[in-house]
A and B are shown apart, each in its own frame.
Chain A
Amino acid sequence: QVTLKESGPALVKPTQTLTLTCTFSGFSLSTSKMRVSWLRQPPGKALEWLARIDWDDDKFYSTSLKTRLTISKDTSKNQVVLTMINMDPVDTATYYCARMASSDAFDIWGQGTMVTVSS
């Protein structure tokens, strides 16, 4: 059974750095063509893709946010970490990690973690 679970702070202050961890099971990120992405959804709004990391350590970022994002993986721990610098109240959202197997679709999602940016 494939599962993913996000963890991180529920509240961050403006200008701080957010660090989120995605811990997964049921697949390996060292398997060819396997990828994990981070996405977010502000309250009442649409989904937004943030970043992707591949089995071969290739990394891709949203054009609009790439200067603020860093994605990394620890294959031995089955974890993917996302850092976002210079947080702002508009970054308040539920953050999800999701697996991408052989297609450009997000086939399994984590439960999400709500992050509020407020002083």
Chain B
Amino acid sequence: SYELTQPPSVSVSPGQTASITCSGHKLGDKDASWYQQKPGQSPVLVIYQDYKRPSGIPERFSGSNSGSTATLTISGTQAMDEADYYCQAWDGTPNYVFGTGTRVTVL
């Protein structure tokens, strides 16, 4: 079965850039999405189709996807960005696969 791997945690200082990676076989050939989930809340879509931002998502969130790695970048990280982040892709069967999740801590 298709798997997506993320680092368990990423730490970033306020105002700095956080990069979260998501690795999967030929992931660059698929559309990658990213979700933000704060404690006790439902996930929120922050990036879809590799780099597109839904309405209402701040410009500091950006995405890229190439080769076997998709990356979510948070520029000028704010305290409110502290959350768990999940990548997601469709493996074509169709199964929608989620990554293992990354906890972003703003120190």
Contacts and interface: CB of A to CB of B under 8 A. Distances in A.
Interface of A: 37, 39, 46-49, 52, 60, 62-64, 96, 103-112
Given A46-B98, A62-B95, A104 B43 contact: no
Contacts of A96: 42-43
Interface of B: 1, 31, 33, 35, 42-45, 48-49, 52, 54, 86, 88-90, 93-101
Question: Interface SS of chain A: helix, strand, loop or mixed?
Answer: loop
B95 A109 contact: no
Given A46-B100, A111-B42, A103 B48 contact: yes
A107 B48 contact: yes
Contact of B31 (A63, A104, A108, A111): A104
Contacts of B44: 109
Contact of B1 (A37, A49, A63): A63
A35 to B, nearest CB: 11
B33 A105 contact: yes
Contacts of A64: 1
